[in-house]
Amino acid sequence: MPETIKNYINGEWVDASQGKTFECCNPADHREVLGLIPDSDSDDIDKAVSAARAAFPAWRDTPAPKRGEVLYRVAEILVKRKKELGELCCREMGKVIAESLGDVQEAIDMAYYMAGEGRRLQGETIPSELPCKDAKSVRVPVGVFAQITPWNFPTAIPIWKLAPAILCGNTVVFKPSEESPVCATRLVEIFEEAGLPPGVLNLVHGFGESAGDPLVRHPEVDGVSFTGSNAVGEQLAVICATQHKEFMMETGGKNPIIIMDDANLELAVEGALWGAFGTTGQRCTAASRLIIQDGIYDVFLKSFTEKATKITIGNGLNTKNQMGPIISTEQYEKVLSYIEIGQKEGATLHLGGNAYKEGDCAHGTFIEPTIFTNVKPDMRIAQEEIFGPVVSIIRASDLGMAIEIANDIQFGLSAAIYSQDVNQTAIAERDLDAGLVYINASTIGAEIQLPFGGTKHTGAGPREAGGRGGALDLYTKWKIIYRDFSGRLQKAQIDD
Ligand code: UN1
């Protein structure tokens, strides 16, 4: 029997106002229905936002170290339940169990890290130009935050958003992806168990149009944090700009790995495989373009192809499988359509390209690891985000050309270079136009204690994750306080 999932509003577990539900299933076997999920609308959003608004003053005034203690308890519960949550993540989203456990680990890391920020939420004191006057900056919460999360990191990305928002004293309405509602529900249960007061975190399930859109437009929402597609992010950006809301979006990527002639071949092959086919290519940091220098091209391609052919595909709960399914039928069709587009554009389909239906995979949405060669940098398969196990291989004659190709896209999330020449890697470090640059490592695997995000169309607003310069800037505003204890009128900037 599928589990009946509820919304969580003002500390109560409730159905959607209209009583409607939808099903969420396992992408490795669509016959397995994991939950009946509330199909919420603007009524539910109103209730959740009102609860968050009402809870805000008391939560804002709770000392930050105390707010941090709740997160510390969240982290402890996550640690205890890592295996169970990892298995659920695997069943709901499809990534293989080792990666699903990694997803939960990233959530744990963020919860501990933000718990500590409760005792570090520093501002500055700075000298005033006048006597008997002092000046300081303090961080204050934004207010009610709408947090809209994707399905590809069903525990890590929600905690990336929830932990710092709550730590900074905001209250939250959380609308998770309709593809990963059960993981989201477990997380909210954990915040409840950790002692978070009612109304501070509210959960509303549903779809973008019926639940996400009214949430973002709600006049009582002060800030919006969104991770997902560019198309949706850009619509939300317009709404937030016209309503003067704080806004952060983290969207697409088309991340390159440059492999130079002097690269450590084995290391580069392993990194390219991990970046291209890890999480079935469904990471915004996935390496979807490999830019290979002429001299290493043939040996690289041979070894990369041999190893890609051996990737075992199937249900991620089975530890022998290395690559799981595509999240949904819609996404599966989109990936297959890009494989057709690549062929029509004149690229060579070098490996894979088909749906995979062997054995247990017959009821899931699996696609073979797919490699295109003879890809021109301006082809659609080399420019647009596919979000599947499809990689484009492009040739370059030297570092300058490789960097030019790497940068010649609308996105700028992550970029990597493999080379043993310190000068070449230093030039790449300087010139790659991306938010994350990796030297002799793949494009995936950013750590939570540093800001995460990209340049150009990859995002907007302050960076996610990290502390100062990252999540703390997103979830607080600066308040500047001048205190004059001279007892007389002192005029700044005015000559005596
Ligand atoms: C994402 O795909 O949206 O750097 C996030 C990484 C992970 C996070 C990916 N730590 O690949």
List the CATH number of the domain containing 326. Answer: 3.40.309.10
pLDDT at 331 over 90: yes
Ligand 1 nearest atom to the CA of residue 284, by list position: 2
CA distances from 194 to 55, 166, 189, 349, 460 (A): 17, 13, 9, 51, 32
CATH number of the domain where residue 78 is located: 3.40.605.10
Q: Do 217 and 282 fall within a single domain?
A: no
Give me the pLDDT at residue 270, please.
98
Which 8-state DSSP code applies to residue 281?
Answer: G
Give me the pLDDT at residue 382, please.
98
Q: Is residue 218 one of the residues assigned to a domain?
A: yes
Q: Do 260 and 162 fall within a single domain?
A: no
151 lines ligand 1 (CB under 6 A): no
284 lines ligand 1 (CB under 6 A): yes
124 CA to centre of ligand 1 in angstroms:
32
Q: Which among 387, 409, 439 is the end of a domain?
A: 439
pLDDT at 257 over 90: yes
- Tell me the pLDDT tens digit for each residue of 74-121: 999 999 999 999 999 999 999 999 999 999 999 999 999 999 999 999
Number of structural domains in the chain:
2
Q: Do 281 and 247 fall within a single domain?
A: no
Give me the pLDDT at residue 135, please.
98
Stretch 3-27: mean pLDDT: 98
Q: Do 99 and 183 fall within a single domain?
A: yes
Q: Is residue 326 one of the residues assigned to a domain?
A: yes
At residue 292, the 3 state secondary structure works out as strand
pTM summary value: 0.97
Give the residues across from 459 on adjacent strands. 250
304 lines ligand 1 (CB under 6 A): no
285 lines ligand 1 (CB under 6 A): yes
Mutate to test the pocket of ligand 1, among 274, 283, 386 (most ligand atoms within 8 A of CB): 283
Stretch 342-371: mean pLDDT: 97
457 CA to centre of ligand 1 in angstroms:
17
Give me the pLDDT at residue 496, please.
80
Q: Is 250 a catalytic residue?
A: yes
153 lines ligand 1 (CB under 6 A): yes
Q: Do 267 and 369 fall within a single domain?
A: yes
Give me the pLDDT at residue 397, please.
98
CA-CA distance, 192 to 34, in Å (whole number)? 22
Q: Do 222 and 247 fall within a single domain?
A: yes
Q: Is residue 384 one of the residues assigned to a domain?
A: yes
CA-CA distance, 450 to 458, in Å (whole number)? 17
Q: Which domain holds residue 135?
A: 3-251+458-482
Give me the pLDDT at residue 354, please.
98
Give me the pLDDT at residue 140, please.
98
The average confidence (pLDDT) of the chain is 98
Angle at which helices 156-167 and 64-80 pack, to 10 degrees?
A: 160
390 lines ligand 1 (CB under 6 A): no
Q: Do 289 and 173 fall within a single domain?
A: no
Give me the pLDDT at residue 469, please.
94
Mutate to test the pocket of ligand 1, among 284, 385, 463 (most ligand atoms within 8 A of CB): 284
pLDDT above 70 as % of the chain: 100
Q: Do 229 and 115 fall within a single domain?
A: yes
Q: Is residue 490 one of the residues assigned to a domain?
A: no
Mutate to test the pocket of ligand 1, among 444, 448, 464 (most ligand atoms within 8 A of CB): 444
**Binning pLDDT at 50, 70 and 90, where does residue 6 land?**
very high
pLDDT at 1 over 90: no
**Binning pLDDT at 50, 70 and 90, where does residue 45 land?**
very high
The string of DSSP letters for 344-406 reads HHT-EEEE--SEE-SGGGGGS-EE--EEEES--TTSHHHHS---SSEEEEEEESSHHHHHHHH
* Contact criterion met (CB below 8 Å) for 416 and 290: no
* Contact criterion met (CB below 8 Å) for 35 and 4: yes
Q: Which residue has the tokens 């043939």?
A: 298
Q: Is residue 450 one of the residues assigned to a domain?
A: no
444 lines ligand 1 (CB under 6 A): yes
Q: Do 246 and 259 fall within a single domain?
A: no
Stretch 327-339: mean pLDDT: 98
3 CA to centre of ligand 1 in angstroms:
29
340 CA to centre of ligand 1 in angstroms:
27
CA-CA distance, 342 to 336, in Å (whole number)? 10
Catalytic residue, chosen from 89, 168, 183, 284, is: 284
Q: Is residue 286 one of the residues assigned to a domain?
A: yes
Stretch 142-163: mean pLDDT: 98
Q: Is residue 488 one of the residues assigned to a domain?
A: no
Q: Do 186 and 290 fall within a single domain?
A: no
pLDDT at 311 over 90: yes
Q: Do 221 and 169 fall within a single domain?
A: yes
Give the residues across from 12 on adjacent strands. 9
Q: Is residue 489 one of the residues assigned to a domain?
A: no
**Binning pLDDT at 50, 70 and 90, where does residue 132 land?**
very high
Q: Do 135 and 225 fall within a single domain?
A: yes
Give me the pLDDT at residue 360, please.
86
